[in-house]
Structure 1
Amino acid sequence: MDITRTSRIAKAAAVAGSLALLATGCGGNNNATSEQPASPDNPITLTVTTFGTMGLDDLYTKYESENPGVKIQATNIDTGGNALTDWKTKQAAGAGLPDVQAVEEGWLGQVMTVSDSFTDLRDYGAGDIAGQWVDWKVQQATDDEGRIIGYGTDIGPMGLCYNADLFKEAGLPSERDAVAELFGGDNATWEQFVDVGKDYVKASDKAFYDQSGFVWNSMVNQLDEGYYKADGTLNIEGNTQLRERWDLLADAASNGLSSGQTQWDWGKGQAFVDGSFATMPCPGWMLGVVKGQIEGAGGDSTGGWDFADVFPGGPANWGGTFLTVPATSQHPAEAAKLAQWLTSADSQAAAFEVAGTFPSSLDAQQSEAVTGANDLTKFFNDAPIGKILANRAEGVKAQFKGPNDSVIQEQVFGPATIALDSGTDGQKAWNDALATLKDLDIK
């Protein structure tokens, strides 16, 4: 075992242990009853930590203008994985946490082990407005004692991003509805996805999708039970469904379907504009990421990218975020007020227009801002993104996320999918993943 890998495993174990020790130490909030409302005579600064592309920047400015005395100091971390590391480090240290912390769905298993170190938002009215969100989103943010620790922002129903120009050049259908039918429409399967990909590779001599990691995440997330069973036990070894999908992914990679791009980088976006690949799985929030990557590489809306109302294997959800208030906040009432405002129907609709983050708010899902045209829809060939995502959200079920779900995704199967893209045999990559799982002593 190499030193780097050993250090990573030791660090992961140390942080996990520290989180457990901090579960009680950070619990409760002594500021809740004594806090004075913010005002010009009592100015406060609220710190907010988010990640990725959440579309909140303009909302911060609006909130400050509507709430004299409140200044927002926002930090946005580039990826969810790096944001998780940041949160775990500060949580373990018991210091440095913001007033409002964005928490990704994949972290919930870890977060819920220390749920008493977050403010119970029922103290600030969360229980009274729970009906504003899709029910499973609220359930995800509720711990075993009934405490609501987060307000839901977006959810991640999935469709397919594809490049119509590249499809057409390869002799495949390129119109949105025809592309959906190409993959099987309502009966789309991963087998059909791979078959179409093989046809594309044969016709174009180019890769079909960007990299295997995102495809694998999508495959896992749409199962009734993923890396964990609903009872909290691991669900990897002996999981026939998981292994069948792995073997299919390995077949795809071995036949040249993967471009082997680096996750979240794509050659600084260049791969989106130079024809390196033609499709990728896209939850709603990914659309803003894709747009930003293309623009960062000098591309624009004429590059051929579109969004199809179809997804292999049926309904799937990848990601989605919550805004929480760590119990260390000196301004829990004001922080809860901000978190509630940022996740209101109007705010979620505004964020969608900017970043494609599909609302968990029921009213926002039906708003013109979501169902109508905006800069994002124009970028994706006038695709009715809001309507497509609403269709893709039908049938989605919240998958139980165990305490190390994100660790398994990133540290176990992350390297394994990279290995597939680098030519490693599927069986060896699977065995190596299981060995890493054992080395990390993941429960």
Structure 2
Amino acid sequence: MRLSRRKTAALIAGTSALILVATGCSGGGESGGGDGEGDVNLTITTFGTFGYDDLYAEYEAANPGITITPNNIDTGGNARTDAFQKIASGGLSDVVAIEEGWLGAIQEVSSEFVDLNDYGAQDIKDNWVDWKFAQGTDAEGRVIGYGTDIGPQGLCYNRTLFEEAGFPSDRESVAELFGGEDATWEKYIELGKQYQAATGKAWIDQASFVWNSMINQLDEGYYTADGELNIEGNAEMEERWAQVNDMIASDLSAGSVRWDWGGGKEFVDGTFATFVCPGWMLGNIKTNLETGGGDASTGWDFADVFPGGASNWGGAFLSVAGSSEHPEEAAALATWLTAPEQQVKQFEAAGTFPSTIEAQETLASEAAPNELFGGAPVGAILASRAQGVTAQYKGPDDSVIQENVFQAVIDQIQSGDLNAETGWAEAMKLTDELVG
């Protein structure tokens, strides 16, 4: 099912009430001039933890007359709502960050964004892994976004908690414990049950992130490669649904609040022992760990292993709004921010793993230790985890299905309002109501 632009716009309007818009999302504003003649003010809207603050200052220092006004929204879901509201009513920032999960919906209205081919996209296309550049290209061949990061996943775990359960705690032994290259979700769940029996504590924070990771490993996720819905009657998806519900029923989930974790305290007080970690999530953990009063001694580490093998969760793009009064300058900023040198700096600030080949090679060879994560060579580990990652087609309402269908239903199962069977039925009902 390939939705028309009209239907996609109507769907966004109809479902926006289901997605909490972050306070201050109206920031970013319209393009405007600077303080002096010839000065240019560029607005940019990002979300989550991008690690751009120092880069903005660096760019302004190197480009007199350019002022950058940033607006950062708390989550990708809220950023999606903000973007589509502004596409409908006006007011997009000059540069807009787009999340992979709603890139499909943006492709339906790609004419609202500048074709970066007009500003040299073909000259730099080889900077990126080929599938990332292809994702940012629409059906007419217009390049509407430069890739920032990709989301290869490794496993975050707490060394102290592993030792309490009698598990090995050094990252090489932990990778072997889970099965190394042959790690499976079955083994991950089995070890979780052993951990819960030994400690009485949860294995994971909450189940929806595990579900997202499982879905991203499939050759085709919520949509087939040709744009058809791919959920009802999908045997692989139903098998993973059973595994997630086994984890919930076995008390392996702490039922944490996504993106909150008790103000970060749950990363410090031993509430859960493992966490699925795409590169960009490391920045979120860092913020929450420190907010919760933790530090390197809290015991979090990062292992080169992931249940089920290679998996990519997330990643973003920088696009230039067609309504920008300064498209040339905005395109130059987007080009600079996504260049390999800046992607390395972005990784150092936020843990986001680069989508450019040169930056990936730099991080793989340097293997700099991350002291907050037990001295783990995070860049090298993510480079290893990126091997075998390919792009899964994300349909126009992929993020709506992820957040407003399955995350919502999993929350209800964790709270005891639904079970595996009634939850699946509710997910099919919601999918039909919101997307079908």
TM-score of the aligned structures, taking structure 1 as reference length: 0.90
Matched, 1:59 2:55: yes
Q: Which runs of 5+ in 2 are unaligned?
A: 1-6, 16-32
Determine if the alignment matches structure 1 residue 198 to structure 2 residue 171.
no
Equivalent residue, structure 2, for 1:434: 428
1:79 aligned residue (75, 82, 92): 75
1:70-95 CA distances to partner (integer Å, 9 max, x unpaired)?
000000001111111111111121x1
Residue 336 of structure 2 is aligned to residue 341 of structure 1: yes
Q: Distance in 2 between matches of 1:271 and 1:399?
A: 32
Q: 1:253-292 alignment to 2 at 5 Å?
A: 253-292=248-287
Aligned pair in 2 of structure 1 residues 13, 297: CA closer, same or farther (>3 Å)? same
Separation (CA, whole Å) in 2 of partners of 1:387 and 1:373 = 8
User: Are the counterparts in 2 of residues 18 and 92 from structure 1 also a CA contact under 8 Å?
Assistant: no
Pair 1:232-2:224 in alignment: no
Which residue is equivalent to 1:219? 214
1:404 match: 397
In the other structure, the counterpart of 1:371 is 366
AA aligned opposite 2:389: V
1:50 pairs, out of 25, 28, 46, with 46
CA RMSD of aligned residues (A): 2.0
2:88 is the alignment partner of 1:92: yes
Question: For the Cα contact (< 8 Å) 1:371–1:385, is it kept in 2?
Answer: no
Name the TM-score, length of structure 2 as normaliser: 0.92
**CA deviation after TM superposition for structure 1 residue 15, in Å:** 5.0
CA distance in 2 between partners of 1:18 and 1:311 (Å): 37
Among 385, 390, 395, the residue aligned to 1:392: 385
Deviation at 1:183, TM superposition (A): 1.0
Tell me which residue corresponds to 1:153. 148
Per the alignment, do residues 343 and 99 of structure 1 end up closer, same or farther by CA in structure 2, a change over 3 Å counting?
same
Instruction: Provide the secondary structure at the position in 1 that maps to 2:12.
Output: helix
- Structure 1 residue 327: Cα displacement: 0.2
Residues 231-255 of structure 1 show CA distances to partners (whole Å, capped at 9, x for unaligned) of 1000000000000000011011100
State the AA in 2 paired with 1:64: E
2:158 corresponds to: 163
Q: How many residues align?
A: 413
**CA distance, structure 2, for counterparts of residue 303 and residue 385 of structure 1:** 17
**1:353–1:182 Cα change, 3 Å:** same
Gaps of 5+ in 1: 1-10, 20-36
The answer (yes or no) to whether the contact 2:363–2:379 under 8 Å persists in 1 is no
1:369, 1:249 → 2: CA distance? 33
SS in 1 for 2:276: strand
**Worse-matched range after superposition: 39-48 or 98-107:** 39-48
Identify if the C-alpha distance between structure 1 residues 274 and 365 changes in structure 2 by more than 3 Å, giving closer, same or farther. same
Structure 1 residue 16, shift from structure 2 partner:
3.2
Sequence identity (%):
56
Q: Is the Cα–Cα contact under 8 Å of residues 349 and 370 in structure 1 kept in the other structure?
A: no
Asked if the contact 2:363/2:383 (under 8 Å) is kept, the reply is: no
- Distance (whole Å) between structure 2 residues aligned to residue 240 and residue 18 of structure 1: 30
Q: Which residue of 1 aligns with 2:21?
A: none
Matches of 2:345 and 2:39 in 1, distance apart?
27
Aligned-partner SS, 2:51: coil
What's the counterpart of residue 33 of structure 1? none
